[in-house]
Amino acid sequence: AADLPALSESDPTAKALGYVEDATKTANAKHKAGDDCTNCQFYSGGPTGRGPCQLFPGKSVNAKGWCVSHTPKKA
């Protein structure tokens, strides 16, 4: 599959959801230590690099990114 264009932190929807490329850098109080896109149920990419997120159709998010809609993957 073709690589999706990267979601930008300055994208209006990304901003609305507090998306960051590096989960360890967010100052958002909703962020829990250890949470990033790789352990979010909306992410369908690999453990590194970038991958799709259901909340940002047509864009790729950073595996190590995060946003306020983070929802732990079901076991």
- Tokens in use for 10? 């300055």
Q: Does 70 bind ligand SF4 (CB under 6 A)?
A: yes
Among 26, 31, 40, 60, contact with ligand SF4 (rule: CB under 6 A): 40
| Residue linked to tokens 């809609």 | 69
* Cα–Cα distance measured from residue 2 to residue 4, given in angstroms and rounded to the nearest whole number: 6
Nearer to ligand SF4, 28 or 69 (CB): 69
Q: Does 37 bind ligand SF4 (CB under 6 A)?
A: yes
* Cα–Cα distance measured from residue 72 to residue 36, given in angstroms and rounded to the nearest whole number: 9
Closest contact distance (angstroms) between CB of 2 and ligand SF4 is: 19
Q: How far does Cα 16 stand from its chain's mean position?
A: 13
Question: Under the rule (CB under 6 A), what is the footprint of ligand SF4?
Answer: 19, 37, 40, 42-43, 53, 55, 61, 65-67, 69-70
